[in-house]
Amino acid sequence: GDSVTQMEGPVTLSEEAFLTINCTYTATGYPSLFWYVQYPGEGLQLLLKATKADDKGSNKGFEATYRKETTSFHLEKGSVQVSDSAVYFCALRTSYDKVIFGPGTSLSVIP
Partner 1 sequence: DVKVTQSSRYLVKRTGEKVFLECVQDMDHENMFWYRQDPGLGLRLIYFSYDVKMKEKGDIPEGYSVSREKKERFSLILESASTNQTSMYLCASSIGSAGQNEKLFFGSGTQLSVL
Distance from C-alpha of 79 to C-alpha of 98, rounded to nearest angstrom: 33
Told to check if 68 binds partner 1 by CB under 8 A, we report no
**Cα angle 105-69-47, degrees, rounded to a multiple of 5:** 35
| Stretch binding partner 1 (CB under 8 A), from 13-21, 36-44, 63-71, 75-83 | 36-44
Told to check if 67 binds partner 1 by CB under 8 A, we report no
Nearer residue to partner 1 within complex by CB, 14 or 68: 68
Nearest to 105 by CA among 70, 62, 66, 69: 62
| Stretch binding partner 1 (CB under 8 A), from 12-20, 47-55, 61-69, 74-82 | 47-55
CA neighbours closer than 13 Å in the CB half-sphere of residue 79:
1
Name the residues that contact partner 1, by CB under 8 A.
Answer: 1, 6, 32, 34, 36, 43-46, 49, 51-52, 89, 93, 96-104
